[in-house]
Every structure is written in C-alpha cells, then in structure tokens.
Copies of this chain bind each other. A is one copy, B any other.
Amino acid sequence: MSDIARRIDAANDEALRRMLSGEPVLVDVIPAAEAIPTLKDRMILHAGPPVEWADMCGPMRGAVAGIAVFEGWAPDLESAARLAGEGAFDFRPNHHFDAVGPMTGMTTIGQPVMVVENRAFGNRAYCTINEGLGKVMRFGGNDAEVLDRLRWLRDDFGPAMGRALRAGDGIPLKSLVARGLTMGDEMHQRNVGCTGLMLRALSPAMAETARDLTALSKALAFIGGNDQFFLNIAMVMGKAIMDPVRGIEASTIVTAMSRNGTEFGIRVSGTGDAWFTAPVEMPEGLYFPGFTEADANPDMGDSTIVETIGLGGFAMGAAPAVAGFVGAGNASEAANFTRAMAEITLGQNPEWTIPALDYQGVPSGIDIRRVVETGLAPTINTGIAHREPGIGQVGAGVVRAPLACFQEALKAFAKTQGVA
C-alpha cells in the first residue's frame, strides 16, 4: 500500500470514529438570533451551497419573500421580491452557520431554532421547527396561513418546547433513532416512529412547564398531527454529528450533502469548507393527486445531511413502507438500496441497526473515492416542491446525488495530497 493510501485510511478511520462516537442531545429551543450571534438583521440563511437571488428556483424565491414579510422587512410578498432583487438581503448557506434547514431552509433572526449539542465534542447545531405537511414555507409556501403558523411557532410552540427541554437534561437522540430504525423509519421521508417516541419523551415536561392547558393541548396536537415532526430533529442531529468530522487532513469522507434547488453541493473532510457543486437532478417519484412531474422543482434542501449520516435512502431497508411513498419499487426490495450504499461507505454503524437485515448497521461514512470508482451515487429520499413559489409540496421521490460533485471533489482532494 502506498504512503498516500495509508494516510487516507488512517484519516478515514479517525473520521469514522468521530462520526460514530457523536453523542447528539436535543437540549433547547431558542431564537435563532440568540443561538447564532453572527446571524444578523436582513440576513437569510438558505439550504444548500451558496446561491444568489438571480439563480434561485421558484419555491426558494417564494420562501425568501415570505420570510421577509414574516420578519417585517417588507410589507408584502411583491415588495419583498423586489427588495431581494435589489440586494436588500444577505443570502448565506445554513451550513456556514452551524445550521441546516429542510427544502428551502429559511433561517432568520426571528425564528426559533432547535439546539442539538454533540456531547462527545462540545459543538452545537441548529434547525427550525418542522411546520407540518402541505402548504408550508419549506416547500415555498408564503401566504397568511403559512406566516401565521410561523408566528405561532415563534411566540408559543417554540418557547413551550424550549421550556420543556430546559426542565430536563435534554433528550439523547442516538438511542431514540436506534429505536426508530426498528419502527420502519428511515428518518428522511418517514419519521412516524421517532415522532411518537419524541412525543413520549417530551410531553411530560411540556405539561410540567406549560402555562395554560389550551396552549398545551394545541402544542401536543401539532406534534401529534405531523408525521414528519422529527425530520428537522434528525437533520440537526446529523449536522451536530458531522461537524466534528470536518477538516481532517487526508480524509475522503463526505461531511455534508446539500441542495439549494439549483445546485447540489458536497463538502469533504480533507478539503475543508470548499463546496463541490453540480446542477441538481430531478427526483423520480410519486405525485399527490392533481400534480405531475411537470410541476416539480428539482431536488432541494439541507435534509441530505440525513443520508450523510447513513439514514434516509441509506437506511431504506429499515423502512419498507417508505419505498412505496417515494416510488422506489417493491417494499420487499427496500433493502437493496441499503446494500448498494454499503459499497460506497467506510463501515456500518453498530448502534443504528436494521432488524430485518439481522441487525446489520446502516452504511456510514460516504467515501468520495468509492463513489467515483463504482459510479454509484448516494440514494436520497426526498420531498418534492412545486416549481412555482407559494404552492407547496407536490410529491415525494428518490433522487441521486450528481456524480460530478464527487469527481470534482476527488480532483481537489488529490491536489491536497500532492497528486496531479
């Protein structure tokens, strides 16, 4: 084995060790401005690698207009869009601020964010609260109903969830996700099990710290009515797990995969904070009644952090029921996706196992070398937004990360090792 290969193996061992030894704990919900001091007025964090207004897709523009109205930076959606075009807002990726966001991924000062602390490494990560299904801002929704819900999350639900979490020592997520994998969740398009487990863990303290019973009832109904409530928690957990894996010299492990609706980007441990991007692909999936693929926006969101840690499409074998929902073929063949992803990853997660595969661990640690060698791009389970602003979710599907990102990353990585 060459010196370089040995160096890479040692670096990847360390990367996988850090990844698998993370101890993510959901500890708080606080205003984004407090959680992220570098997040300023009129700054809008979005999903994916950097993107400016001119290149943003429809739902991303819809969400930007909506969040500007929500924050009081514009009186209405039209003015907000005009202001955005004039450069009034500072657009930055969530990933540059220890944060992630689903689909359009809007994070701004006035929103509450959930805080996950990685107790093995001391870092924290942030994500907004999942808004529920249908017409919501993450899918580009921006009407009064959407903004009213965001206000309720800011003024009522977020503070209530924060009080409950601060009353205890936080909710450890690693064991909760391990149980979710025995309950048919893959933590991207299916979070039914983990949402119930989270409610079981959270509701006693929510009652203990509630200010009135009607508000509490509404908060419990909000969690109870949203099968995807846990998605944003899985995402912020993923960010908290992967951030300590960044910047390991000579490691070829992927530390983030993310899409802004226009471009797909990845980051690799050994190449630091650089993004390697390519145009996003179109998911292949199933559409809600009344919609077709002609309505679909290409792939979008920071939620691919879930695949980055071995869940989502990588854990399809744990979630046969999701296969039909995302149009991935027969439920009984869901495990094939998990088996394929084992070919591009460094190992298995011994704490996140799949009963139906006799407790095989989820494939963990995407190695850009193996992706390029095999031509097997990561499988991603995803929601699908309407391509126009203001409409919302139209379906769910499976999409592949573009191979070009991994090829570009491998070239840049080779340079760091003195290889042409």
Contact = CB atoms under 8 A, between A and B. Distances in A.
Contact of A182 (B179, B184, B210, B355): B184
Interface string A313-331: 0000000110110000011
Contacts of A358: 330-332
9 contacts: A179-B192, A183-B193, A193-B196, A195-B196, A199-B200, A200-B224, A208-B217, A213-B213, A331-B356
A178 to B, nearest CB: 11
A359 B184 CA distance: 14
Contacts of A197: 192, 196
Interface string A175-210: 000010011100000001101110111011101101
When all copies of this chain in the complex are counted, the total is 2
Nearest to A225: B200
Nearest to A222: B204
A216 interface: yes
A183 B318 CA distance: 10
Given A330-B358, A355-B320, A221 B204 contact: yes
Interface of A: 179, 182-184, 192-193, 195-197, 199-201, 203-205, 207-208, 210, 213-214, 216-218, 220-221, 223-225, 320-321, 323-324, 330-332, 334, 355-359
A225 B202 CA distance: 11
A240 B317 CA distance: 35
A303 B81 CA distance: 61
B192 A207 contact: no
Contacts of A223: 200
A332 B320 contact: no
A45 to B, nearest CB: 31
A214 B224 contact: no
B184 A204 contact: no
List 7 tightest A-B contacts by C-beta distance, closest first. A196-B196, A200-B224, A204-B221, A207-B217, A320-B355, A321-B355, A182-B321
A66 to B, nearest CB: 28
Contact of A204 (B182, B217, B332, B359): B217
Contacts of A179: 192
A214 B208 contact: yes
A261 to B, nearest CB: 31
Contacts of A220: 203-204, 207
A325 to B, nearest CB: 10
A188 B27 CA distance: 34
A203 B225 CA distance: 11
Which one of A182, A210, A221 has the greatest number of beta carbons of chain B within 10 Å?
A182
Contacts of A214: 208
A156 B191 CA distance: 32
Contacts of A356: 320, 331-332, 334, 356
Nearest to A179: B192
Given A207-B216, A356-B320, A356-B332, A195 B184 contact: no
A186 to B, nearest CB: 12
A26 to B, nearest CB: 15
B207 A213 contact: yes
A219 to B, nearest CB: 8
Contacts of A221: 204
A196 B200 contact: yes
Contacts of A193: 183-184, 192-193, 196
Which one of A196, A197, A199, A210 has the greatest number of beta carbons of chain B within 10 Å?
A196
Contacts of A331: 355-356, 358-359
Contacts of A225: 200
Contact of A332 (B210, B334, B357): B357
A204 B218 contact: yes
B208 A210 contact: no
Contacts of A355: 184, 320-321, 323-324, 331
